[in-house]
Amino acid sequence: MARYQAVIFDLDGTLLDTLEDLADSTNFALAAHGFPRRSLEEVRRFVGNGVGNLIRRAVPEGTSPEAVERCLADFKAHYLTNMQNKTHPYPGIPELLKALKAAGCPAAVVSNKFDGAVKGLCRDYFGGLLPVALGETPERRKKPAPDLVVSCLEALGVPASGAVYVGDSDVDIQTADNAGLPCLSVTWGFRDRSFLLEHGASVLAETPQELLGLLL
């Protein structure tokens, strides 16, 4: 039996390991403009606040806003056709989502990744296991603002009091707090346990199996 009426997940670093594809598209865009490459660990630190901020952090200091926008456009175009080259679900995630569905607990995704990529990845990797998947759009503020979570809850027909948010970053902790949801933090993603604890995590899961035990 599920402890919640719905579970809202972050995507990158929580359900999918997307880091290498994000890094490849970042370096493609940087190279196209003659900028230095970034390492995988640098990109790991840059992600979490949307691809706009990823590129702004990746370009050299002092890059003009116009050049940043051109680099971002190149990133998006490359990522949309290369976002499944190395990306894969974390081990145990498909089984977790299937268990939630079997328990009658709908799962959804709210991500700061741009909306087209979020919907495409959720469809291709998880099929009908995630009936609602929302990403960044011009109409809604990205996380940690609560807008996307509020829209997701409305689509699910579930009140904030009946839902929980699951993520791997400080942004996810802030998002849950701003939306009035409890947050479960996972340690297998882009931020480690000590970082999460320093940024206010209260309940942590080391594995998808442990997370499932917190949800059912």
Q: Which letter, b or e, does each residue of 3-37 get, where b requires 16 or more Cβ atoms within 10 Å of its Cβ? A: ebbbbbbbbbbbbbbbbebbbbbbbbbbeeeebee
Distance between CA atoms of residues 49 and 42, nearest Å: 14
Which residues are known to be catalytic? 10
Read off the pLDDT of residues 169-186 as tens digits, 9 standing for 90 and up.
Answer: 999 999 999 999 999 999
134 in helix, strand or coil?
strand
**Does residue 85 have a pLDDT over 80?**
yes
What the block records as the tokens of 107 is 């799962």
What the block records as the tokens of 17 is 């390991």
Average pLDDT over residues 146-169: 96
Which amino acid type is present at position 178?
N
100 in helix, strand or coil?
helix
Read off the pLDDT of residues 145-156 as tens digits, 9 standing for 90 and up.
Answer: 999 999 999 999
At residue 42, φ and ψ (nearest 5 deg) are -65, -45
What the block records as the tokens of 74 is 């190149």
Distance between CA atoms of residues 168 and 74, nearest Å: 27
Read off the pLDDT of residues 22-33 as tens digits, 9 standing for 90 and up.
Answer: 999 999 999 999
Distance between CA atoms of residues 70 and 29, nearest Å: 9
Asked whether 131 and 108 are in contact (CB, 8 A), the reply is: yes
**What rounded mean pLDDT belongs to the chain?**
95
Distance between CA atoms of residues 167 and 175, nearest Å: 10
pLDDT value, residue 83: 93
CA count, 13 A, side-chain hemisphere, 62: 1
Place of tokens 């949800």: 215
